[in-house]
């Protein structure tokens, strides 16, 4: 690992699969995490924080599979989060074993409020724990990252001592988190500068930053941190994460790209250098954003910077006139730079499987034979309904097929009857996990409500629908409609997503997708309870027999 003084570019540390997944309702299964991890590798991120291995068997499995599949010689560093405890660190090390390059990221809180109310420990105790656990992590691998949680509200002098000891114990990256999104850009810049000036061995580690967007300042804070010496940015795709989210990766990368002449001197480069400041392939940004949005169910707002649907749209007549004459009048970057194009695919309903596979590879999809077959059938169906098929349409149906569960409930039929003088009625047929086909019908306030009530009668999984959203992939009456829903069960939120030219079918499939996630979570809970009971029975001593 290069030391701080040797780095003249910005390291992109993506925590979409760890911190981003902590967004309410954004829970991902192992296969979905692996799909996103592969795309993050194509995007060119330097580090993927794949999860928190000790937190659950599912997270352990996800980190292990990502380490094995994506953590190749040419791939990114695969990182696992661990609290400053031996069990966490050992579990993270075990999960990361398959990766060619791996990193343990361990943390402990340093603010007085966290020490008093959460950890109930003294500063001296926390210093000792951090030093010991960084050294313990170092016994498993060379690349160790240490984070003083809530650094933004920590006493600077105590923070300096903590960082000095962590580096001396073997930390190669020092991450400074604004855990609650409290700091302003000037304050964050001062914090990073203070660390550079007051931690004697800081040149032996890379300074990283992590921050939340509670005040809408995360990206601005990070850019100020770069000016003061930060060389790694911990961010998420679309800025997803707890509460108001994290610093958005796409905004940081494009700010550094568009304004690289401004940032070049802060990294020791000539002002007019055209060399990229990150390793990110910006043409993969939009595709990555769409994938994460679809799989997590976290919609991107239309006016979201860089990846929002309105980011390159011009409504004002003055703006439109200027753009027609010269794009630079009102656009500071080309939409194609982030992979946003209006290209029409040349495939039609007579196109063969090989041509279809080839086009998917050009778009960055590397599907298994089974997934390819399912996506090809969907493409054929779509080609019969639409005269023109865009890359966006193709991405929508492929992403939809990738995330649909095949081992739980599956929609076989949905039929509705409705009108302004009719009672909306829906009939649905679902295939159960054991292969049975169950049919039921229901009425509702509208066709979608009737469909959902009919599905509930079949699946019988209590839930509360809290969000229903519909948007079109492209323009036109024959556009694919994307439906995203979120439902709540016992204070947990589950999301579902689907795409179809028939919005009723998409609505039904999205609902089943979310219910399958809920159903799987309930099954896992029951399995754990049964396992605990089994362990108790095994451990219980045999009853005494009469002598």
The closest alpha carbon to 453, from 463, 465, 441, belongs to 441
Q: Where do we find the tokens 């802060």?
A: 266
Q: Could you tell me the CA-to-CA distances from 223 to 226, 473, 490 in Å, in that order?
A: 5, 33, 40
Residue 170 above 90 pLDDT?
yes
Measured between its terminal Cα atoms, the distance across the chain in Å is: 69
Average pLDDT, the chain: 88
Matching fold, domains 4-296 and 410-531:
no
Structure token digits, residue 379: 């493409």
Least confident window among 5-19, 343-357, 491-505: 343-357
- Is the C-alpha dihedral spanning 512, 513, 515, 519 positive or negative? positive
Half-sphere exposure of 178 (CA within 13 A, CB side): 31
Give the mean pLDDT of 241-246.
Answer: 94
The architecture (CATH level 2) of 410-531 comes to 2-Layer Sandwich (3.30)
| Beta strand ranges found along 298-424 (DSSP E) | 410-417
CATH superfamily of 4-296: Aldolase class I (3.20.20.70)
3-class secondary-structure state, position 205: coil
Residue 211 burial (C-beta neighbours within 10 Å; 0-12, 13-18, 19+): buried
**How does pLDDT run across 288-318, given as a tens digit for each residue?**
998 898 888 888 888 999 998 788 764 445 4
CA 308/CA 312 separation, integer angstroms: 8
Give the mean pLDDT of 68-76.
Answer: 97
CA 430/CA 508 separation, integer angstroms: 11
3-class secondary-structure state, position 236: strand
Edge-to-edge strand ranges of the sheet holding 492-500: 464-472, 481-489, 492-500
What 82-85 contacts at long range (C-beta under 8 Å, 24+ apart), as own/partner pairs, is 82/52, 82/53, 82/54, 82/106, 82/107, 82/137, 83/54, 83/107, 83/108, 84/108, 84/129, 84/130, 84/133, 84/134, 85/133
Pairwise pLDDT comparison (16 vs 490), residue with the higher score: 16
CA 4/CA 199 separation, integer angstroms: 13
Contact 289, 280 (CB under 8 A): no
Residues 6+ apart with CB under 8 A from 325: none
- For 208, phi and psi rounded to 5 degrees? -115, 160
Q: What is the pLDDT of residue 545?
A: 41
Q: What is the pLDDT of residue 349?
A: 63
Residue 146 above 90 pLDDT?
yes
CA 469/CA 496 separation, integer angstroms: 11
CA 335/CA 344 separation, integer angstroms: 16
Q: What is the pLDDT of residue 236?
A: 98
pLDDT band, residue 402 (cuts 50/70/90): low
Contact 44, 72 (CB under 8 A): no
Q: What is the pLDDT of residue 354?
A: 80
Q: Give the DSSP H or E segment for 7.
A: none
pLDDT band, residue 437 (cuts 50/70/90): very high
Contact 216, 246 (CB under 8 A): no
Q: What is the pLDDT of residue 532?
A: 59
pLDDT band, residue 345 (cuts 50/70/90): low
CA 300/CA 306 separation, integer angstroms: 11
**DSSP bridge partners of 465:** 487
Segments in 139-248 forming alpha helices (H): 156-169, 185-198, 218-227
pLDDT band, residue 400 (cuts 50/70/90): confident
* In the chain, domain spans: 4-296, 353-403, 410-531
pTM given for the model: 0.83
What 424-428 contacts at long range (C-beta under 8 Å, 24+ apart), as own/partner pairs, is 424/449, 424/450, 425/450, 426/450, 426/451, 426/453, 426/454, 427/454, 428/454, 428/455, 428/458, 428/508
Which of 321-325, 339-343, 353-357, 409-413 shows the highest mean pLDDT? 409-413
Contact 1, 206 (CB under 8 A): yes
CA 379/CA 357 separation, integer angstroms: 11
**How does pLDDT run across 438-496, given as a tens digit for each residue?**
999 999 999 999 999 999 999 988 999 998 989 887 777 778 888 989 899 988 888 88
Strands 410-417 and 206-211: unpaired
Conformation bin of residue 493: beta by default, left when phi > 0, alpha when psi is -120 to 50: beta
Q: What is the pLDDT of residue 285?
A: 95
**How does pLDDT run across 347-361, given as a tens digit for each residue?**
666 667 787 888 787
CA 67/CA 63 separation, integer angstroms: 6
CA 131/CA 162 separation, integer angstroms: 8
């Amino acid at each position: 690992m290069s030391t701080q003084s040797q780095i003249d570019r910005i390291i992109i540390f993506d925590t979409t699969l760890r911190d981003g997944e902590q967004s309410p309702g954004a829970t991902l299964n192992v296969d979905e995490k692996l799909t996103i991890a592969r795309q993050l590798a194509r995007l060119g991120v330097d580090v993927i924080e794949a999860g928190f291995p000790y937190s659950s068997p599912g997270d352990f499995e996800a980190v292990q599979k990502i380490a094995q599949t994506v953590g190749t010689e040419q791939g990114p560093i695969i990182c696992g989060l661990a609290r400053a405890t031996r069990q966490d660190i050992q579990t993270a090390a075990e999960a990361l074993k398959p990766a060619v390059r791996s990193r343990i990221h361990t943390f402990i809180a340093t603010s007085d409020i966290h020490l008093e109310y959460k950890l109930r420990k003294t500063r001296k105790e926390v210093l000792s724990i951090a030093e010991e656990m960084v050294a313990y992590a170092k016994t498993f691998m060379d690349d160790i990252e240490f984070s003083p949680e809530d650094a933004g509200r920590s006493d600077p002098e105590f923070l300096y001592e903590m960082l000095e000891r962590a580096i001396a114990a073997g930390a190669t990256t020092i991450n400074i988190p604004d855990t609650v999104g409290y700091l302003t850009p000037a304050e964050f810049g001062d914090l990073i500068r203070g660390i550079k000036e007051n931690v004697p061995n800081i040149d032996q580690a890379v300074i990283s930053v992590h921050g939340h967007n509670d005040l809408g300042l995360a990206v601005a804070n990070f850019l100020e941190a770069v000016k003061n010496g930060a060389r790694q940015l911990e961010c998420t795709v679309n800025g997803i994460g707890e509460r108001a989210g994290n610093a958005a990766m796409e905004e940081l990368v494009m700010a550094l790209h568009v304004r690289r002449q401004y940032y070049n001197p802060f990294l020791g480069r000539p002002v007019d250098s055209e060399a990229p400041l990150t390793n990110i392939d910006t043409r993969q940004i939009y595709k990555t954003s769409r994938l994460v949005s679809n799989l997590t169910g976290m919609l991107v707002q239309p006016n979201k910077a860089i990846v929002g649907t309105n980011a390159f749209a011009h409504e004002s007549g003055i703006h439109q006139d200027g753009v027609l004459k010269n794009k630079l009048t009102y656009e500071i970057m080309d939409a194609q730079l982030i992979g946003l194009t209006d290209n029409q695919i040349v495939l039609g309903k007579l196109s063969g499987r090989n041509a279809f596979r080839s086009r998917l590879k050009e778009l960055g999809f590397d599907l298994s034979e089974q997934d390819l077959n399912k996506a090809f059938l969907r493409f054929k169906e779509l080609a019969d309904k639409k005269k023109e098929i865009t890359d966006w349409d193709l991405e929508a149906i492929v992403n939809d097929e990738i995330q649909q569960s095949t081992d739980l409930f599956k929609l076989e039929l949905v039929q509705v009857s409705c009108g302004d003088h009719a009672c909306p009625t829906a009939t649905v047929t679902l295939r159960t996990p054991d292969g049975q086909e169950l049919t039921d019908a229901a009425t509702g306030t509208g066709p979608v409500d009737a469909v959902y009530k009919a599905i509930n009668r079949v699946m019988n999984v209590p839930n509360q629908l809290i969000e229903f959203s519909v948007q079109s992939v492209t323009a036109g009456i024959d556009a694919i409609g994307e439906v995203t829903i979120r439902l709540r069960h016992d204070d947990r939120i589950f999301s579902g997503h689907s795409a179809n030219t028939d919005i009723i079918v998409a609505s039904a499939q999205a609902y089943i997708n979310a219910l399958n996630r809920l159903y799987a979570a309930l099954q896992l809970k029951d399995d754990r309870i049964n396992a605990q009971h089994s362990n108790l029975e095994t451990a219980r001593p045999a009853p005494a027999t009469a002598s």
